[in-house]
Amino acid sequence: MFKRKPTDGVREVQDRLKEPDVFITEYLNSSSRFFAIVKQRYSDFQVNEIDLDGQVVHLTSLEEDIPNEKEEPITADLVIDDVDATETPVAELEYPLDSEEKWRQLSLLLKRNKKEDSIRMIVTNVSKSDRTLIHKSVEDRYQGKLITSTVTEGELKYIVIGTNKNVDRRNICSWPKNLPQYVHFVLYKENTDTINAVRSICKSSRVSQNCLTYAGTKDRRGVTTQRICAKRLTAKRLSSLRFPRLWLGNFEYKERQLNLGDLNGNRFLMALRQVESKEDDLETTLLSLKEKGFINYYGLQRFGSYSAAPTYEIGRCLICQQWKEAIDLILKPRPDELQMDIQKACKVWSETKDANRAVKYINRDFSTEATVLRTLAQQGNTAYVNALQKAPRNVLLLYLHSFQSLIWNRIVSRRINEFGLKVLPGDLVFTTSSSISASGDADEDLIVDTEEGSRMKVVRAVSEEEASTVSVYDVVYPLPGYSIKYPDNATANWYKEIMSEYGVSSFDGKNKMFAVSGDYRKMLVLPENISWNIVHYDNPNADLIATDLQKLKNQNTVENLESGSYKAVILQFDLPSSTYATMAIRELTKDDTSSSHQATLSVDHLQNKKAKLSE
């Protein structure tokens, strides 16, 4: 297999992760390549989600097309207007929540809206599943306006219920009659990731992040369009929000919530700039991608940006129950990646391990780092597990699955290097396309989706007799986990060796919050609906592809000259969810896809081009 050699004369950023760091080393085709700059501008990379009906999601309308909303309120779930705010709530309630009077006492908490108010319920002999029902019942009825927690005092166990001070109780005390409680809308974003975009929407709406759901995450470096679902937030209210790099539109009320995995993939449209190749060679290379595809590596964006604190190392610490080490990595200062106040707070923590001093630098922020530091400040500098459990679940999953992804990349690179592309007896293939269970998974730069909505499938081992007839494009390799079947050949031992090297014996840790079941992923991928065309331009920073927003506002400024100083390939294709477009581009250019490396290429190439023109 062809392997990329380091590019001479290219300045490397020493603290950034590079492809070999995460075992991205192999190529399918060594016969063709061409030079191009990837992501010179973030608008050069556009992603549009493909929904379950096979429709490509586009932003086609904004606030002018808001659905009609009936004004008559319905308050069956949450009634607080009839509660007297001067009344003092009781200190304790008996289990269970089985009377209107008990619910009235909780409504009184909300009506009074005082930080010091709380009600306790003794649940010492109540099972965990029944306690969970209490938590869920309160959350569902009060839509996150009241929060619950389980505490232990001596031999007694309580559920404590109090007011959530981070949300506005006025927002959802009523809901329009006969209006579905879910509004689906299109989120168009530029150069920001889905998690931060959702956080911004929730912060402006003053609701919990649990109120918004999505089918998959899209990364920061690009222009992306996807569906979002909000519970009990009106389209009118959402459309009134304004953000620097986010636009919300195409509002539609539905009875059904949008869940992780509710998508069929993503359509990619990208401009590869400053291409250097003969027309015939260029066509040959692009045809090779169409016919042979690429190795389905997890891209660099899966693993974070900095080599000093990669997400996979945090995941390894969580799996190995190395809580202090995980906290220190999460709170490691990361220049150019964290907001200034969080950067200062993390620096103080790294130097002093004093959370109380660190949180003084944090403003109104709900990032993972801020949440962890606040918990440590409240519960003690060594309350590592509690601090981790307060972190957003999707972020913890990202850490865990990043480590799984590292092992997957390493296994597949070794497998292709040693055995090539032939199917081995004992390799795994799916037995059916129907799913038997849903496993959670979570996922920057040229992203597609995380695997949060991926579904476990039944696999079987290929027999020796059928190895010559099975397509290599059907072969899957496991992301290691406690419910995974491993290949029936030498690669199974590789998993054991590698996990032992990282100090991991199993993935079903004592703390179930950090256990991972595993999944299966195809070794190779063929892009679908692939097409391309070549354009020429003179301005190095000219728009080469129009965005949904530009089309909507009739601001199409795309440059395409009959002749020009520069040449670009406009490439479009569809990929399944959780598949990285950067790995497809890597197969074309045979070059490192990291944003730091591409940035240096762009600067060096432009300087060389100007020097040649001036000669």
Distance CA 457, CA 443 (A): 20
Distance CA 312, CA 303 (A): 6
Residue 614: how many other CB atoms lie within 10 Å: 6
Residue 295: how many other CB atoms lie within 10 Å: 22
Q: Are 11 and 304 in contact (CB under 8 A)?
A: no
Q: Are 293 and 524 in contact (CB under 8 A)?
A: yes
Q: Please name the amino acid found at residue 598.
A: Q
| Residue in 8, 15, 53, 219 annotated catalytic | 219
Find the length of the chain: 615
246 forms beta bridges with 189
CA-based R_g, the chain, Å: 26
161 forms beta bridges with 119, 148
Q: Which residue has the tokens 């909507």?
A: 552
> Do you find a cis peptide bond into 96, omega within 30 degrees of 0?
yes
Of the candidates 534, 614, 607, 612, which has an alpha carbon nearest to the alpha carbon of residue 278?
A: 534
Distance CA 548, CA 220 (A): 17
Distance CA 450, CA 393 (A): 13
Of the candidates 470, 399, 444, 407, which has an alpha carbon nearest to the alpha carbon of residue 300?
A: 444
**In this structure, what token pair is assigned to residue 198?**
């959702």
Residue 482: how many other CB atoms lie within 10 Å: 12
Q: What angle do CA 38, 44, 45 make, to 5 degrees?
A: 85
Q: Are 186 and 57 in contact (CB under 8 A)?
A: yes
Mark whether 130 is an active-site residue: no
Distance CA 537, CA 570 (A): 12
Q: Are 39 and 250 in contact (CB under 8 A)?
A: no
Distance CA 263, CA 55 (A): 10
Full 3-state SS string of 443-510: CCCCCCCCCCCCEECCEEECCCCCCCCCCHHHEEEEECCCCCCCCCCCHHHHHHHHHHHCCCCCCCCC
Residues marked as catalytic? 219
